[in-house]
């Protein structure tokens, strides 16, 4: 089996979601440190243009979006499951709430608290993904966002007072998803105090952080590109159902439905209820299969 390569950066909240899953499972993985801002010349040849972090690479198969990444990890390494079959729907609903609603409330107060430490060009870079992103907009949004985030903290704290993890005795993807916005806010000391003030929430954060870094070894971006070049896409079976809006072999465009204008264009090879896969050619790596979840992405004819 080809090794798992995670393209990430240390402060990426969504990367932390996947790092917690890998650490909990004890799965060996390789870490490619990607830039926090564009350009990302050792990422976009793999994704076809998608700049979002993290992305997971297994040979010449590239998985975009943490929902897709986590489920492929679960398929490859079912030991210590994080998506228990009996609670898969509940996990998905909590994950969607945390990745979107809770995370979007975590962003304004955290960015505002850390504003003076942001690297030069950060605001301009994020504005390219989300028009209107500015210090003024962040300052205006932060009070309400913090109020809503703390309301969520209260809900999480109440639930975690009843069980070690959100769904009971065991860690699941629901915990990884809810953890990463909370951990992101903990980067600002004045916001970390809100976590510390909620004992069950603070203990839960400590348990998840306690998984450690996991079985990780570094890999250069050039080595990751070479691994893709040397491999051929392997996870491309499944086809396209007859009642789908496209046929296998159609050239389609995939773009997120929330923010970010980057698209991936390729030849459709799989379209299922939860995933869409395209094959594409890039001069830097040859043929790669790029995988996306169906939820949160628009697929259209290119």
Residue 134 confidence (pLDDT) above 80: yes
Within 10 angstroms of residue 290's Cβ, the number of other Cβ atoms is: 26
Residue 20 confidence (pLDDT) above 90: yes
Return the CATH number of the domain spanning residue range 86-209: 1.20.1050.10
Q: SS3 breakdown of the chain: % helix, strand, coil, rounded to 5?
A: 45, 20, 35
Residue 207 confidence (pLDDT) above 80: yes
Q: Print burial letters for 188-199: b (CB count within 10 Å at least 16), e (below 16).
A: beebbebbeebe
Cα(9)–Cα(136) distance, integer angstroms: 27
Residues 6+ apart with CB under 8 A from 144: none
Residue 259 confidence (pLDDT) above 90: no
- Domain spans, the chain: 4-80+216-301, 86-209
Provide the phi-psi class of 121: left if phi over 0, else alpha when psi is between -120 and 50, else beta.
Answer: left
Joined together, the tokens standing for residue 35 give 């830039």
Return the CATH number of the domain spanning residue range 4-80+216-301: 3.40.30.110
Joined together, the tokens standing for residue 23 give 């650490």
Cα(84)–Cα(217) distance, integer angstroms: 28
- The pLDDT value recorded for residue 2 is 87
Task: Give the residue among 245, 289, 294, 285 at the shortest CA–CA distance from 269.
Answer: 289
Joined together, the tokens standing for residue 276 give 């869409």
pLDDT per residue over 74-112, tens digit each? Answer: 999 999 999 999 999 999 999 999 999 999 999 999 999
Mean pLDDT of 31-40: 98
> What one-character DSSP code corresponds to residue 134?
S
């Amino acid at each position: 089996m080809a090794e798992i390569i995670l393209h990430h950066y240390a402060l990426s909240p969504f990367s932390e979601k996947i790092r917690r899953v890998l650490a909990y499972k004890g799965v060996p993985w390789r870490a490619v440190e990607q830039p926090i801002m564009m350009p990302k010349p050792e990422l976009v040849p793999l994704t076809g243009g998608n700049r979002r972090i993290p992305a997971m690479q297994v040979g010449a198969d590239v998985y975009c979006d943490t929902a897709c990444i986590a489920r492929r990890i679960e398929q490859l390494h079912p030991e210590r499951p994080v998506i228990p079959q009996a609670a898969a729907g509940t996990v998905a609903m909590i994950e969607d709430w945390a990745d979107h609603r809770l995370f979007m409330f975590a962003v304004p107060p955290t960015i505002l608290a850390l504003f003076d430490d942001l690297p030069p060009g950060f605001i301009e870079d994020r504005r390219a993904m989300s028009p209107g992103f500015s210090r003024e907009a962040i300052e205006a949004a932060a009070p309400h966002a913090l109020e809503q985030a703390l309301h969520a903290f209260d809900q999480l704290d109440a639930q975690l007072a009843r069980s070690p993890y959100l769904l009971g005795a065991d860690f699941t993807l629901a915990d990884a998803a809810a953890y990463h916005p909370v951990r992101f806010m903990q980067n600002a000391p004045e916001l970390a105090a809100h976590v510390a003030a909620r004992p069950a929430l603070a203990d839960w954060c400590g348990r998840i952080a306690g998984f450690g870094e996991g079985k990780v070894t570094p890999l250069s971006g050039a080595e990751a590109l070479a691994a893709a070049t040397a491999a051929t896409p392997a996870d491309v079976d499944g086809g396209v159902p007859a009642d789908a809006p496209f046929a296998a072999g159609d050239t389609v465009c995939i773009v997120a439905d929330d923010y970010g204008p980057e698209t991936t264009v390729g030849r459709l090879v799989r379209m299922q209820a939860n995933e869409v896969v395209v094959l594409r050619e890039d001069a830097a790596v040859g043929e790669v299969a790029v995988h996306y979840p169906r939820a949160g992405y628009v697929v259209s004819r290119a």
